[in-house]
Each structure stands twice: as C-alpha cells, then as structure tokens.
Homo-oligomer: A and B are copies of this chain.
C-alpha cells in the first residue's frame, strides 16, 4: 500500500523530448470503477500488474499494486475490461531533481499528452519545466478511467 500524491499537467511543447531517459509502453484497462475505487490491469513491455486505487478526487490517493502473470493480465484485458483499452507510451524526463512522466496516448486518445509528477508531500515544491501548461489534477476528464468512456478524440 502506498499513498500517492500526483499532480498532472497539460504539455504545451515538444522540448521535453530532448531529455527522455527511458520509455515504457502501456496497455491498460479497468475491471470496473465506482465512487470508491478503480481497478486497473496494466501490461507493460515485459510485466503485468493489478492496481487498486481509491477514487478520491484530487492529488492524494491510496494505492495497492500486485504483480500478476502476463497471460492472466492479457486474458483479463480481453475478456473482463470495459470499453476500449488505453494505450500510451510513458516517457521519463528528468528536470531539476524531479522525474516527470510524460504520457503520449495512442488509439482513441491520440493527440493527448499529459505530464505527471509524483511528490512525497502535499507541500513539496518543484520547478515547472517550460513545456508544462495548465494543471489538470482535479479535472476528471483526464483520469484514465474517464478516457476509456470518453476518449480524447471525441471531446
């Protein structure tokens, strides 16, 4: 279990591409979500995880994560998950002592690029790179659970 403090921003230019240290492709879906929690199945390049997150809106959420066998995750994605799957490539970008995660979406969410930073305290300060735009941490439309039901290309 972990408490996750995450802030999410729109990305307004491509200059982050000069500082990518690592990238991972994700294919993920949601088993279901309600007012209390969301349950995600995520397959990355070589691993699969089940992730349970409390649905508290905002930046601070409770999170549980467990590794699962790849073939079981793929079965859950194809048989049990709602709607179209989320496909995106996560780029890790170092900036002044923090690691930003820039998610470039594909498929029905093509065109959407958001950047997240994980903090260890609510009041932790960090420097915003110049490719960062408006903060959308509290905007439900940008939740991955919402992007399944209302993908970006249909906004």
| A72: interface (CB < 8 Å) | yes
- Do the beta carbons of B54 and A64 come within 8 Å of each other? no
- Which stretch, A12-20, A34-42, A115-123, touches the partner chain B? A34-42
- Do the beta carbons of A66 and B66 come within 8 Å of each other? yes
Given A31-B39, A32-B36, A37-B32: A66 and B68 interface contact (C-beta under 8 Å): yes
- Do the beta carbons of A33 and B36 come within 8 Å of each other? no
- Do the beta carbons of B80 and A37 come within 8 Å of each other? yes
Q: List 10 A-B contacts (CB under 8 A).
A: A31-B32, A31-B37, A32-B34, A36-B82, A37-B80, A52-B76, A52-B80, A62-B79, A62-B80, A64-B76
